Structure 1
Amino acid sequence: MKLIHKYGAPKRFYELAGTLTPWFAALTTLLFVSGLYLGLYWAPPDYQQGNAYRIMFVHVPNAWMSMMAYVVMAVFAAAGYIWNIRLADILAKVTAPLGASFTLTALVTGSLWGKPMWGTYWVWDARLTSELVLFFLYVGYMALQASIDDPRRAAHASAILAIVGVVNVPIIHYSVYWWHTLHQPASLSLTGQPKIYITMLIPLIIMSLGFMFFYLTMLCVRARSEILWRERRADWVRKLIESRS
């Protein structure tokens, strides 16, 4: 709680994000380079899919991040709605386009993967359809934010949509178990053994961490820009501009 009070002020978070951004960016680069090398050159071809499966190292992390980012956005939105925390509203707002990008990338790469596997780019499969709904939820959240001029009213209105839309996240995850779908079940589980070779699992985990740190990097960058815009009339922003001019 003390940490929240300490860095909950936009000015404090602006400073913290500025310190963390280079470290997050460096980790992102390191993880992407090593993960892509291991995924494209070290991991062997799949015995059924050949080399076509390698798109998994981009598709799966983006699919995971699309759901994680939405939950994070909803939590921030709820915190801003309930406790009127300005920073939470900012973090929810800047997460939305990042989550939408992850979701769109997951949909596109999934379609490219589906063509050689299923013979078509798109089917109205439960997993694909619920992921598409997630993309529309992101778009709806951003559209609602943009349609209201007052930041507080925009945050409160869009928070309701974000919170209600959380119900779609477990639907995406369990869709392959609840309905008969073309999409394969998860290869990783918290309770069971991985259904994937270790030589494929390692680059998948590294790429997933890379996309997570990419999200953190862009979150800090976008949050700093949004904070400067919202606090543009504050004394600390004026002094910051003067010190750099």
Structure 2
Amino acid sequence: MHRFANPTRFLKIAAAVQPWMAGLTIILFGTGLYMAFFTAPPDYQQGESIRIMYVHVPAAWMGMFCYAAMAVASAVALIWKHPLADVAAKATAPVGAAFTFLSLATGSLWGKPMWGTWWVWDARLTSMLILLFLYIGYMALQGAFDDRTRGAKASAVLALVGAVNLPIIKFSVDWWNTLHQTSSFMKQGGPSMPPEMWIPAVVMAVAFKTYYVWVLLVRIRQELTANKVRILRLKQVHGG
């Protein structure tokens, strides 16, 4: 991994990969949305509202995935002082927060016709809301200190401590009696849905992943450029 620690080398790789991720994202989103809204059949119980799940479920997966990636990057930054790890964690936070918010919003849209209410203090919903607050807390700590290094360390510690919430989200429907349904896709015996329903979900999930990589590369490149400008300004101030 230290081969990619050099910002110049990383920027070259990112510049080559970024257009491919952008193209894949557009193709996969177009394909996934078409399949979800036009080829996938309605559910025999949930009817047309099942189509919300093609956005809700991948968004929930990505909310958790991004936080796991942020926690790993924070650990690498704290332990091995990898120069790009903190930048990657910082770049991931708003993307993960957006996915988590999208998951909560679409879940609320689905909950109204299914449960008769926009929100319940269900174990899965509550733990996802806590995840959103953890993202917000991480971003707040980043800018809470005049010393950027102290802010980075404080937010990294929060990211690692907050990672305990991930297994709670994952297993909440198994540990507690909740309104939220159990997984219909990730089961030991395979998906319980027919292919015409789970294939669009997989396509959308991959689309969300490529979108994350695309935006992550864009944000890291922007952050590295901003750091270069900041260093040049500091040199000019001290030089003057």
TM-score normalised by L of structure 1:
0.92
Q: Secondary structure at the match of 1:194?
A: coil
What is the one-letter code of the residue matched to 1:187?
S
Q: Offset of 1:191 from its aligned partner?
A: 2.4
Q: Offset of 1:196 from its aligned partner?
A: 1.3
- Deviations along 1:169-189, one digit per CA (max 9) or x if unpaired, are 000010000000000001122
**Which whole-Å CA distance do the structure 2 matches of 1:29 and 1:90 have between them?**
26
* Partner of residue 80, structure 1: 77
* Partner of residue 17, structure 1: 14
**Which whole-Å CA distance do the structure 2 matches of 1:86 and 1:7 have between them?**
9
**Which whole-Å CA distance do the structure 2 matches of 1:190 and 1:183 have between them?**
16
* Partner of residue 162, structure 1: 159
1:112 to 109, 112, 132: 109
Match status 1:97 vs 2:101: no
Match status 1:194 vs 2:191: yes
Matches within 5 A, 1:15-94: 15-94=12-91
Q: Offset of 1:199 from its aligned partner?
A: 0.6
What is the one-letter code of the residue matched to 2:155?
S
Partners of 1:81 and 1:155 within 8 A in 2: no
CA-based RMSD of the aligned residues comes to 1.2
Q: Secondary structure at the match of 2:166?
A: helix
* Partner of residue 148, structure 2: 151
1:182 to 179, 184, 189: 179
Residue segments in structure 2 that go unaligned for 5+ positions in a row: 233-240
Partners of 2:88 and 2:216 within 8 A in 1: yes
- Deviations along 1:76-103, one digit per CA (max 9) or x if unpaired, are 0110011111200000001000000000
TM-score normalised by L of structure 2:
0.94
Higher mean C-alpha displacement, 192-201 vs 19-28: 192-201
**Which whole-Å CA distance do the structure 2 matches of 1:8 and 1:148 have between them?**
25
**Which whole-Å CA distance do the structure 1 matches of 2:147 and 2:26 have between them?**
37
Partners of 1:61 and 1:204 within 8 A in 2: yes
* Partner of residue 5, structure 1: 2
**Which whole-Å CA distance do the structure 2 matches of 1:181 and 1:11 have between them?**
49
Residue segments in structure 1 that go unaligned for 5+ positions in a row: 236-245
Q: Offset of 1:190 from its aligned partner?
A: 5.5
Q: Offset of 1:18 from its aligned partner?
A: 1.2
What is the one-letter code of the residue matched to 1:103?
T
